[in-house]
C-alpha cells in the first residue's frame, strides 16, 4: 500500500473514531490501536496514537470547557501522572511481541469489563485517584484506557458535555505526561511526532462533528458495534503477536 493511501486511511479512521469518542465518550483510541499497530508497528503505534489522542481529547475539552469538573480532573491526575511515568518507562523497554499481546488481551478484557460493570461504582476521592493511577499506567502500555475508566466518571453524576469534557481533560493530562517520557526515552521519534500532528486536524474535526450530534443521537447505538470490533481486533493481536 502506498504511503499516501496509508495516510488517507489513517486520517479517515482518526476522524471517524474522534466522532465516536465525542458522541459515546469512549472507543476512539482503542479502535485506532489495531490499525496503527498494523501500519506502524506496536511501539510507534502507541506513541503516534498518544499524539493523535492528545489532539482529540484536547478538542473535546475545548468544546465542553464550560462543563469540565476541574476538581475531579485534579484528583484523577494525582494518581495518573506518576503512574503514567512508570508505565511509559516500562513501555520503552518492553519486548514488542509481548506488548502486542498485551494490547490484544487488553481489548478483550475491556469488553468483558464493560459487559460486567457497565455503570461502574461511585468512588470516594482516594479511590478515584487510584483509578487514575491504574489508568495512567495502563494507558502508557496500550495507548488508551478510556472505555474502562468511563463508568467511574459517569458514576460521579457527570452527564453528556460534563462527562465528555471531564474525562477528556483527565486523558489530556495522561497523554502529556506520556509524551514527555516517550520523548526522553526516544520512543517518540520525529517521524512519529509528525505523523501524530498530521492526524491532529482530523481528530479536532471529528470532535467538533461529534459535539454537534451528541444531543441528538443515542450513544448506546454505537456500543455493540464498537465492542464487536474490539473483540475481533483483540483476537487478531493475541494470535499474531509473536
Tell me: the pLDDT tens digits for 196-229? 888 888 888 887 887 777 666 555 555 565 566 6
Instruction: At 159, list the grid cell.
Output: 452527564
Better-scored residue on pLDDT, 227 or 128: 128
Q: How confident is the model at residue 239 (pLDDT cuts 50, 70, 90)?
A: confident
- Residue 68: the pLDDT is 92
pLDDT at residue 78 above 70?
Answer: yes
Of the chain, the percentage scoring pLDDT greater than 70 comes to 80
Q: What are phi and psi of 218, to 5 degrees?
A: -65, 125
Q: How confident is the model at residue 118 (pLDDT cuts 50, 70, 90)?
A: low
State the Cα–Cα distance between residues 237 and 240, nearest whole angstrom. Answer: 5
- Residue 236: the pLDDT is 67
pLDDT in tens, 30-64: 777 778 888 888 788 888 888 888 888 888 898 88
Amino acid at each position: 500500500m502506498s504511503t499516501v493511501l496509508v495516510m488517507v486511511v489513517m486520517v479517515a479512521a482518526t476522524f471517524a473514531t474522534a466522532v465516536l469518542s465525542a458522541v459515546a465518550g469512549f472507543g476512539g483510541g482503542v479502535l485506532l490501536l489495531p490499525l496503527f499497530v498494523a501500519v506502524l508497528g506496536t511501539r510507534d503505534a502507541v506513541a503516534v496514537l498518544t499524539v493523535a489522542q492528545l489532539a482529540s481529547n484536547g478538542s473535546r475539552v475545548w468544546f465542553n470547557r464550560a462543563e469540565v469538573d476541574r476538581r475531579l480532573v485534579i484528583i484523577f491526575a494525582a494518581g495518573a501522572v506518576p503512574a503514567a511515568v512508570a508505565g511509559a518507562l516500562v513501555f520503552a523497554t518492553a519486548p514488542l511481541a509481548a506488548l502486542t499481546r498485551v494490547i490484544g488481551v487488553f481489548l478483550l478484557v475491556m469488553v468483558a469489563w464493560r459487559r460486567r460493570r457497565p455503570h461502574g461504582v461511585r468512588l470516594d476521592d482516594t479511590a478515584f485517584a487510584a483509578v487514575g493511577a491504574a489508568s495512567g499506567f495502563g494507558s502508557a502500555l496500550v495507548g488508551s484506557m478510556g472505555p474502562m475508566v468511563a463508568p467511574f466518571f459517569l458514576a460521579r453524576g457527570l452527564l453528556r458535555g460534563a462527562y465528555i469534557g471531564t474525562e477528556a481533560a483527565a486523558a489530556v493530562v495522561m497523554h502529556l505526561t506520556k509524551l514527555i517520557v516517550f520523548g526522553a526515552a526516544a520512543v517518540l521519534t520525529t517521524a512519529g511526532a509528525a505523523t501524530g500532528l498530521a492526524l491532529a486536524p482530523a481528530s479536532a474535526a471529528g470532535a467538533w462533528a461529534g459535539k454537534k450530534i451528541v444531543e441528538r443521537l443515542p450513544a448506546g447505538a454505537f456500543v455493540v458495534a464498537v465492542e464487536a470490533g474490539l473483540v475481533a481486533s483483540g483476537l487478531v493481536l493475541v494470535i499474531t503477536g509473536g
